[in-house]
Structure 1
Amino acid sequence: MTLSKIKRNNKNNLLLVLVVILVFLNGLQWLLNDRSSQKKQVLIESKELELVTTYAKLDSISSELELQISELQSMNGHVDSLILIVKELERDKQELLTSKNLANGRYQELRGKVEAYEELLKRKDAEIALLKKTNQSLLDETISLKKEKIDLEDSIVGLKRTQRKMSAKISMASSLKAKDLSFTRISDSGKEKIGTSFKNRRLSRLKLHFTIAKNPISPIGVKTIYLIIATPEGATLYNEAIGSGTFKLNKGEVFYTMKQDILFDNTEQKVAFEYTKDSDLKVGQYTAMLYNDGVLMGEQSFIIK
């Protein structure tokens, strides 16, 4: 074999080795690219599954909150904050639904919200259970009181019996109650006297003081309180000059002496009515009665000598 032929064979062998190496490298590159692509696909599918799972949890929480809102509204509970939370939930759901490239930080934030929402559900469930228990207790008491059959009279003469019947028909857990009712007599000279028995000639103005008892179920807001001062004969002290009028009670209308709008804030606030007499009062026992939303809040009697 000649030297030139040996050189050609060596050159061919070298080319063959290079071709084999290139084929091997190309195959390795393809294999690595394929594995990387498969890995990316797995990560994408995993992220999509997490997004779907998180969306499903938020959707379930939203549905439960709406049910809780409905229950609380039926029991006069506070729902304004829950309505705002449901709206925020809907925005979070929409963001998960429409954002294909949601940043990981934002996604983790949404996942963290799920736990907070679930904790809120537990607290509201406890609140609803307490309200149901309270309402059931009041309902049982009302049913028991309804057994008392007291005839109602439409005239002011029967107002005392009307009050007792209305007390037996209390069905609203949020009704207000007045406590610590007391009277102060103010003379023409401005002298004051606390008591329940006053001389006519020394009485120029009469103040009724009372405190509104706490009621965690009653919503905070403006309340109208009506004062009826019933004479010994059962009539109502009435004077349009001081704002006397009528209000609905037991599907009818009755006269009231004075009324006052207050902002009920559930802090055992103190309230006072001041009645100025326009003529001498008849001797005898008078009864002051306070009403709100057709329900008797409280009553107290005083005597004019």
Structure 2
Amino acid sequence: MVRPCLALPDGRFYAFQLGFSVLKPDDIHPGSPDESYRGATSDKLLFLTDCYGLYSLVNPFTGSERLLPIPSGFRLHEEEIDEEEGYGSEEMPVRKMVVCSEGGLVAAIVGHERSSRAALCKPEAAWSWSLSALDPWCCYTDMAFFDGKLYALTGDEDLLALEVSYDSKSGEPRISAIERIIDGGANCYTLKEYTRMRYLVVRPKDGSMLMVCKVMLEYGTTTYELLVFQADLRSSRWVQMDSLGGDEVLFVGRLCSRAVRADRHDVRGDQIFFLDDSTRPEGLGLPLGDGLANIYDMKDGSLSELLPMQTHRDGEVPATWLFREDEDGDAEG
């Protein structure tokens, strides 16, 4: 069974069990790094190692570790990336990271809020990250592996399918084609211009993808509402949903999101658990009106605070959900 947990940049962990309770020290592997993480994916946290040019992808519950190169000094199909973009050889910020369950391919959104790209890495084949000339700098907001393919969501609510191929000699992964599956420009709804965050969530229950939009009226206020859309790949459009069927809940965050069965955690269905992770104007670091962790009820539109706001530093990586797999091996969406 999957158990949602909450990780904070200062090293604290919370477990979701009829609310939140602090995890016992022995629930966290003693080998976990002490410094603040740089990213997260599923049940792993991304740390900077003591070795130059290396990240460590660590499962804090088991202690398992996987080394990755730091995204920097990219080669763009054998050509150095344009330094006018500001990314010569320095470390490039990782905004989102996902790992394919089959084959171990790692994909990441690298760059900044409105200037980002998709990067691929498979350390077992090539010790480097690669970008594609087909993929221009744009505003990527989220990314997910779904049905054997890599999908990306943009700030304009376009859903893109990124086809991945491998070099026949080096085995290096590359994006060989990009197709716009859904045109976000055709997805009009009230208050769209106030949406601050968009999340892409894979829904194992029925094999679909969801886009969750966090709507805020202005910086410094609480969340107004969360809107949920399902990707209709046949009609190439987003279809708004009023319910998750009553038996699912969503955990959404900038670093990691997931759909989970409600009955496994004694919670009501049709709820969205979301974090204070909205992008703020550069240099301001303003705290928003939400708590650190919050609940939105799709049935009545009510919002409630689950965990109060914590002190955070300007530019700090946000808190993130992690999804711990129990040893019983009972798979769950």
Q: Normalised by the shorter chain, which TM-score bucket?
A: under 0.3
Looking at CA atoms only, which structure, 1 or 2, has the larger radius of gyration?
Answer: 1
More helix, by proportion: 1
State the TM-score, normalizing by the size of structure 1: 0.21
More strand, by proportion: 2
